[in-house]
Structure 1
Amino acid sequence: MERFLSEDFLLNTAAARQLYHGYAEGMPIVDYHCHIDPKEIFEDRRFENITQVWLGGDHYKWRLMRSNGVDERFITGDASDREKFQKFAESLPRAIGNPMYHWCHLELKNYFGYEGVLNGETAQQVWDLCNEKLQNDPAMSARGLILASNVAMVGTTDDPCSDLEWHKKLAADQSFPVRVCPSFRPDPALNIHKPGFVEYIAKLGQTTGKTLDSVEAVCQALSERIAYFDENGCRAADHGLDYVMYREVSSEQASETLRKALAGQAVSREEAEGYQTALLLHCAREYKARGWVLQLHFSCKRNPNSRMFTALGADCGYDCIAVTDSCSATYALMDALERENNLPKTVLYSLNPADNEWIDTLLGAFQSSEVPGKIQHGSAWWFNDNKIGMTQQMESLANLSVLGNFIGMLTDSRSFLSYARHEYFRRILCSLLGRWIENGEYPADMEYVGGLVKDICTNNAVRYFGL
C-alpha cells in the first residue's frame, strides 16, 4: 500500500517518477493567470493565522464546508478565525476523492512541514504549528511564499481603470526578482446587459477624460487603457464571458444599443451581443498589435442561487458549470479576426469539459508560424482542475492537437499557497506521459520526453507570453 502523499504521490510508474523528479520538480513556475492582489505582494503582507492565508476568499473551501452542512457563520460570517478553521478541518476528511484534500495536504507539507492529516482531532495541532511559523518565520510572507515556490512570473487580473500603482512599484523594486505583470480584464465595459454597466462606463470616461456616448468612444477609451497597460508590462488580456458570442452589427447599431443602456432602458440579448462583439473585435485587434495573449473564459453560470447572491454578493462559491453553445460563435469570431490578419495568440478555457474536443479541433484550424501552439486549449479550469479533469484535457489535446506545445498550469487563485497546484498538475502530467512510455505507446527516450515536460511546465509559457 502506497503511503499517503509520499514523494512519489501519483507517480505510479518508474517512467513517471523519473520524469517528475528528474525534469518537472525543479522547474520555475510561470503563473500567468491569477487573482492575487499586487498590493499585498509589494507590501509583503504577513498573515496572523492559517485561516487568513487559507480560508479567506477561497470559495473552493467554502463550497466544501457548505456541502457538509456548516452554518454560513463559520464560512463567511462573524465566527472567529479559530472556529472557522475547526469547521473546515472537520469537513475535510469527508472530501475523499476531491482535489481539495490533496491540495490542502500538499500545502501543509510544503509550506509548514506538516506530514500528518488534517481533521477535527488534529485541528489544534495544525493551528498551532502553522500559526507559529506564520508569525515567527520571516520567509512566511507574501513575497517569501512566492520565492519559496520558485515562481518566475505572476500574472494578476486588473481593471482597465486601474492606475497600476502597485505594479509600477514592484517593477521599480530591485530587491524582488519575480516579474509581476498586470493583465487587462475589460469585462465591466462589455457587460452591457448586467448591473453596474452604466456606472462603469462613467468610471471609464472619468479615467480617460472622454464622453463615452458611442461605441467608437468606448473603443478609443479602451485603446488608451490598453496602451497604458502595455507600457507597464502587460502581456495578456482576459475576458470572462457567460458564453462566446458573435453578432456583427454596424457601429451605429452598437452605439444605439449603448445609448439605450446608458438611458436605463433594457437591451435585448441580440442587441447586447452586437455591442459585445464590436468591443471584443476591437480589443482583439489591439492585443494582436502589441503581441498580447487573448484569454477567453466561458461556459460559467454565475450566481444561480439568487437568495445567497443577495445576501453575500458575487464570488462566494455559488457559481456552476453552464451548458452553452459557444462553438459556432468562437469559430466565427476567430475567422473574422483571421481574415484581417488580426487574430492574436489566444487561449480558450471552457468550464464545461464537454467542450474539450471541439476546442482541440478548432486549434488546428487557426494555428500559424507566429509561435508554436498560437491557439491554445487552456489548462483544465476551476471545477476541472482535478486529476480526472486535467487528464481528460491533456488526453483530448494530445489526441487532436500537439500536447508538446501546451503552456501548462495556472493557479487562477487568490491564495499565496496555491502554487502547490502546479506540483499537483506536474505529477499528473508525468503520470500520464509515464503511462504512455510504460505501455510502449511512446519511445522511452527519457531525455527527449523530459524536455517536453520542462516545456509544458515552464518553457512554453515563457515563449508564448514573451517573457
Structure 2
Amino acid sequence: MNTTHFITDNFILQSDIAETLYHKYAKDLPIIDYHNHLSAKKIAENQPIKNITEAWLKEDHYKWRGMRANGIEEIYITGQATSHKEKFLKWAETVPNTLRNPLFHWTHLELKRYFDIDELLQPSTAEDIYNRANAILENKTPAQLLEYMKVEVVCTTDDPTDDLVYHMEIANGDFYTQVLPTFRSDELFFIGKDTFLAYIKKLGAVSNLEIKDVDTFLNAIDKRLAFFDAQGCKLSDFGVGEELKLADFTRKEIDAIFSKRLKGNKLNKDEVDKYRSFLFIYLGKKYHEYNWVQQYHLGPVRNNNSRLLNQIGLDAGVDSIGDFPMAQFMSKLFDTLNSTNQLAKTITYNLNPSQNEVFATMMGNFQNSDYPGKMQWGSGWWFLDQKDGMEKQINCLSNMGLLSRFVGMLTDSRSFLSFPRHEYFRRILCNILAEDVKQGLIPNDIEFLGKMVQNICYYNAKNYFGFNLIEN
C-alpha cells in the first residue's frame, strides 16, 4: 500500500463550506467526553504509558475483532506470552486489511494527532512507527495526553461500590481535565446471578450496613448515591444486554422476592422482572432528585463465544448486536417516572440500527419545558460509532427531533488515544450540513450554522450536564 499522506487537513470535508464550518467553528473546541471507560487510577498515578501496544491493543475489542477476522492467532491478540512488539507487528499486518472498516480511519487519525505520523501503518512501516510512537509515549502521561487533546471533562464508568479514591486524588491535584464518576448500576440488577449475594455483602460493607431486607438494601443504595454525588457525579448509566420488561409489582411482592434471594433460593423470570422493575423506578426517581442525567445503553448480546469467554473472561470482544424489542420497556419506564414528574434528563443509546427511529421518536414523547432537549437520543454507540452509523444517527435525529439540541459525541473507550473520534464526528457533522447547503436544503448562513456546530460539539453538553468548568 502506498505510504503517502492520508489524513489531510480536509479529510472527509468535501466542500469549501464544510472546510469553513470545521476549521473555523469546530476544530479548536475543547472536548467533553461524558461517557467512557478510562481508568481513573491510571490518570491519578499519571505514569507514562511508554508503549503503544499497551495504549492501543490491551483493551481494544474493536482491534481484537479485526485481528481475529484477519486470521491472527489469539496469542498475539490477548495472549500473555508474546512481546509488545510482536503484538504490534501483528496489528500492523492487519491494518491494511481494515480498509473501509472504521479501524482504518481511527488508526491513522490517532497516529497523526498524537505522533504526527503520516505514513500508513503496514508491515513495511510498522517497526519505524512502533519506535517513533514509543519515543513520544515514554515521556507522556495520561493526564498530558488528555490535556493535549483539550479534554475538559472525562466521565468514567464506576460500580456503586467503588471507593472513588482516584477520582478524589485527581480532584485534589493539579489536573487540566476534570475526571468525574458515573454511577453504573448494572450489578444491582443481577439478582438472578450466582454472584449477587456476594455483591450485596460488598455493597453493605462499603455502606456500613447489614443488608437484610429491601429497606436496608435501599438505604445502602441511597448512601452510595449521596457519596457519588459528593464526588461530582452528574450521570448514571445502565448497560445490561438482554431483553427488558417493566412489569407490574407490589411492594409486598418485592419484599418477598428479595427475602427469597437473600436466603439463597433461585428466582423465576417473573420474579426477576418484578424486582428489576422496582429498581428501575426507584433509581429513576433518585436520579431526578439528584438532577443527574440517566443513560441507558440498550441492545447488545454479550459473551456469544463461550470458548473465548472461558479463555479470556468478560469483555473478550465477543459481543454483538441484539434484536430485543425496546419500545414498550422505554415507554412504560419513562411514562411511569413522568407521571409523577420524576423523569430525569435521559439519554438512550441503541445498538441495533434498525431501531434508530424507535429510539428517536420515543425520546420525543417526553420532551418538556424542564430543559431544551431534555430527552436525548444518543450518538452512534459501539458498532455504530463509525461514519455510516454517525451519518444515519444525525439524519434520523434531524428528521425525528432537533439536531440543534444534540449533546454530541463521546468515545465510550478504554484508550487514552481515542479522542480523535471527536474530531471524526465533528468533520462528519460539518460535511453533512455543508452538503445540505450545496443542495439548497438549508440556508447558506455560515455564522448560524457555525454556532449550531459549536453547540452540538461542545456547548450543548457543557450546559446539559451542568459541569462546573473553569476556563482553561
Please report the TM-score for the alignment, with normalisation by the length of structure 1: 0.97
Post-superposition CA distance 1:215-259 (Å, at most 9, x none): 332222111110111111000000112244311211221232223
Q: Which moved more, 1:145-154 or 1:209-218?
A: 209-218
Residue 95 of structure 2 aligns with which residue?
A: 92
For 1:270 and 1:304, the matched residues in 2 are separated by 24
Post-superposition CA distance 1:411-434 (Å, at most 9, x none): 011110100111111111111111
Task: Tell me which amino acid in the other structure corresponds to 2:201.
Answer: A
Residue 111 of structure 1 aligns with which residue?
A: 114
SS at match of 1:122: helix
Residue 60 of structure 2 aligns with which residue?
A: 58
Residue 171 of structure 1 aligns with which residue?
A: 171
Q: Among residues 35, 38, 52, which one is paired with 1:36 in the alignment?
A: 38
Residue 266 of structure 1 aligns with which residue?
A: 266
- Trace 1:6-21 onto structure 2 (pairs within 5 A): 6-21=8-23
Task: Tell me which amino acid in the other structure corresponds to 2:293.
Answer: V
For 1:347 and 1:378, the matched residues in 2 are separated by 6
User: 1:215–1:251: 8 Å Cα contact kept in structure 2?
Assistant: no
User: 1:255–1:275: 8 Å Cα contact kept in structure 2?
Assistant: no
SS at match of 1:180: strand
Matched, 1:424 2:424: yes
Matched, 1:236 2:235: yes
Percent identity for Structure 1 against Structure 2: 41
User: 1:36–1:416: 8 Å Cα contact kept in structure 2?
Assistant: yes
For 1:24 and 1:150, the matched residues in 2 are separated by 13
SS at match of 1:376: strand
For 2:340 and 2:396, the matched residues in 1 are separated by 30
SS at match of 1:121: helix
Residue 460 of structure 1 aligns with which residue?
A: 460
Q: Among residues 21, 26, 29, which one is paired with 1:27 in the alignment?
A: 29
SS at match of 1:57: coil
Residue 121 of structure 1 aligns with which residue?
A: 124
> What RMSD over aligned residues (CA atoms) do the two structures have, in Å?
1.3
Residue 69 of structure 2 aligns with which residue?
A: 67
SS at match of 2:152: strand
SS at match of 2:123: coil
For 1:373 and 1:67, the matched residues in 2 are separated by 40
Post-superposition CA distance 1:332-379 (Å, at most 9, x none): 000000001100000001111111101111122101111111000011
User: 1:299–1:324: 8 Å Cα contact kept in structure 2?
Assistant: yes
For 2:196 and 2:353, the matched residues in 1 are separated by 30
User: 2:6–2:118: 8 Å Cα contact kept in structure 1?
Assistant: no
Q: Among residues 4, 7, 10, which one is paired with 2:6 in the alignment?
A: 4
Give, in angstroms, the shift of residue 3 of structure 1.
6.2
Post-superposition CA distance 1:385-413 (Å, at most 9, x none): 01000100110000010000000000011
User: 2:10–2:19: 8 Å Cα contact kept in structure 1?
Assistant: yes
For 2:194 and 2:29, the matched residues in 1 are separated by 43
User: 1:24–1:454: 8 Å Cα contact kept in structure 2?
Assistant: yes
- Trace 1:213-232 onto structure 2 (pairs within 5 A): 213-232=212-231
For 2:398 and 2:459, the matched residues in 1 are separated by 18
> Where does the alignment leave 5 or more consecutive residues of structure 1 unmatched?
none
SS at match of 1:391: helix
Residue 470 of structure 2 aligns with which residue?
A: none
For 2:177 and 2:6, the matched residues in 1 are separated by 33
User: 1:213–1:258: 8 Å Cα contact kept in structure 2?
Assistant: no
For 1:274 and 1:424, the matched residues in 2 are separated by 42
Post-superposition CA distance 1:424-461 (Å, at most 9, x none): 11111111111111111100111011001000100000
User: 1:167–1:232: 8 Å Cα contact kept in structure 2?
Assistant: yes
Residue 406 of structure 1 aligns with which residue?
A: 406
Residue 154 of structure 2 aligns with which residue?
A: 154
Task: Tell me which amino acid in the other structure corresponds to 1:19.
Answer: L
User: 2:47–2:141: 8 Å Cα contact kept in structure 1?
Assistant: yes
Residue 255 of structure 1 aligns with which residue?
A: 255
For 2:307 and 2:193, the matched residues in 1 are separated by 18
Q: Among residues 101, 104, 119, which one is paired with 1:101 in the alignment?
A: 104
User: 1:213–1:255: 8 Å Cα contact kept in structure 2?
Assistant: no
Matched, 1:134 2:137: yes
Task: Tell me which amino acid in the other structure corresponds to 1:95.
Answer: T
User: 1:244–1:298: 8 Å Cα contact kept in structure 2?
Assistant: no
For 1:284 and 1:255, the matched residues in 2 are separated by 19
For 1:212 and 1:277, the matched residues in 2 are separated by 20
Residue 356 of structure 1 aligns with which residue?
A: 356
User: 2:26–2:453: 8 Å Cα contact kept in structure 1?
Assistant: yes
User: 2:36–2:412: 8 Å Cα contact kept in structure 1?
Assistant: yes
Matched, 1:323 2:323: yes
